[in-house]
Amino acid sequence: SDFPHFAAGSTKKTSGIPAITEPKRIAREDHPISRADISHAALKVLYTLKDAGYRGLLVGGGVRDLLAGVVPKDFDVSTDATPEQTRPLFRSCRLIGRRFKLAHVRFGREIIEVSTFRGPVSDDHERDDSGRILSDNVYGTLEQDAFRRDFTVNGLYYDIEDFSIIDYVGGLEDIRARQIRLIGDPETRYREDPVRMLRAVRIANKLGFEIEASTRAPIQELAPLLADVPAARLFEEVLKVLLNKDAVANLRALRELGLFGQLFPQTEQILQLDHSGAYLKFLELALGNTAQRLVEDQPVSPAFLYGALLWPAVEQRYVELLDTQGHPPAVAMAQAGSEVLGRQLQRVAIPKRFGMPASEIWNLQTRFDRRRGKY
């Protein structure tokens, strides 16, 4: 076999990926994507790679969204050119990432992410105790790259060579069935990278798709794996999922699947004890407000988001401190804020430039707090 890692009887540990070798190829006249749907910057990258003798394919969210009838946010490109080979082809191109190098090609305000085909995961990859992949620097073939993608709907390629769509992983079927399905064995794929649990929620709600049953089933139990993900990466992922037009639906799904409690344990605990539902309502209003601003193309702030997400815990601690310590309100609020923020930082990194304004928002609340009639 050309693909030893996928061969039957192989002792290499793979992601339970079946031995499929013949991809589906859908000719240009049999699918709805045309070059008019693709940004000039992305087309420019694809043709530049092709003219230099490399393969250039659109992959990921751009292809997925176009097939699902949604306007793509951005375009990702996949190629057999290494990042070092890609860089000199473009006037403005930066190589980023340590684990797996990517090229960022800039055209004005648009950035096209160009990734080199990834090789298969094997025992050679360095992992932590729960199976999370730590090193990832082996290049591979287009087919191998397809199976390294997270969901089938993200593993579809648009080939600039002949404008066909290439499907190794059954992504087209899942787009038709409107479902998000992991490629390979779900538990293995979540262990490799627990952030995929958050991505499943975000992408499903973005497209109005369901999370397919076997992809959904292990999440509740594997949610604690998020504790092993670096806090800085979780900060980025939390913004993607909650500073988002679908933030309210995402919050509900994250709570249902036990993911929210891994990210914001203090807040989740209060939401569960709060039978009045007032805190949940508050959070949904705050997230809905940000979502609305995004719809209207108004600026939104991570400080406001984190300020709201932690407010239930901050307020409870504030009231406790007022009652038990007799501190002045401003002192109690400052202390409550720093305690809650400090505990939160163990889960999700919040850069100071957002943590400080979030604290200021909390401190302001004391000025309006006339509950105690002290001021």
How, if at all, do strands 210-211 and 179-180 pair? parallel
80, 145, 150, 174: the catalytic one is 150
Which listed range, 190-198, 306-314, 320-328, 346-354, lies at the site for ligand ATP (CB under 6 A)?
Answer: 190-198
With beta carbons less than 8 A apart as the criterion, state whether 253 and 245 touch: no
Here the tokens at position 281 are 């309502």
Residue 195's binding partner, choosing from ligand ATP, Mg ion, none, with beta-carbon cut-off 5 to 8 A by kind? Answer: ligand ATP
With beta carbons less than 8 A apart as the criterion, state whether 157 and 63 touch: yes
| Known catalytic residue at 74 | yes
Q: What b/e readout covers 67-89, taking b as 16+ CB neighbours within 10 angstroms?
A: bbeeebeebbbbbbbebebbeeb
Q: Does 159 bind ligand ATP (CB under 6 A)?
A: no
Q: Does 74 bind ligand ATP (CB under 6 A)?
A: yes
Residue 307's binding partner, choosing from ligand ATP, Mg ion, none, with beta-carbon cut-off 5 to 8 A by kind? Answer: none
User: What is the closest distance, in whole angstroms, from the C-beta atom of residue 240 to Mg ion in the complex?
Assistant: 10
Q: Does 71 bind ligand ATP (CB under 6 A)?
A: no
What CA–CA distance (Å, rounded) separates 156 from 54?
Answer: 18
Binding Mg ion by CB under 5 A: which of 56, 61, 119, 170? Answer: 61
Helix segments in 88-230, DSSP class H: 142-148, 171-177, 186-192, 195-207, 213-216, 219-222
Q: Does 119 bind Mg ion (CB under 5 A)?
A: no
Q: Does 193 bind ligand ATP (CB under 6 A)?
A: yes
Here the tokens at position 276 are 């009045």
Residue 149's binding partner, choosing from ligand ATP, Mg ion, none, with beta-carbon cut-off 5 to 8 A by kind? Answer: ligand ATP
Q: Does 268 bind ligand ATP (CB under 6 A)?
A: no
Which listed range, 68-76, 213-221, 222-230, 272-280, lies at the site for ligand ATP (CB under 6 A)?
Answer: 68-76
Q: What are phi and psi of 281, to 5 degrees?
A: -60, -45
| Known catalytic residue at 159 | no
Write out the catalytic residue numbers. 74, 76, 150
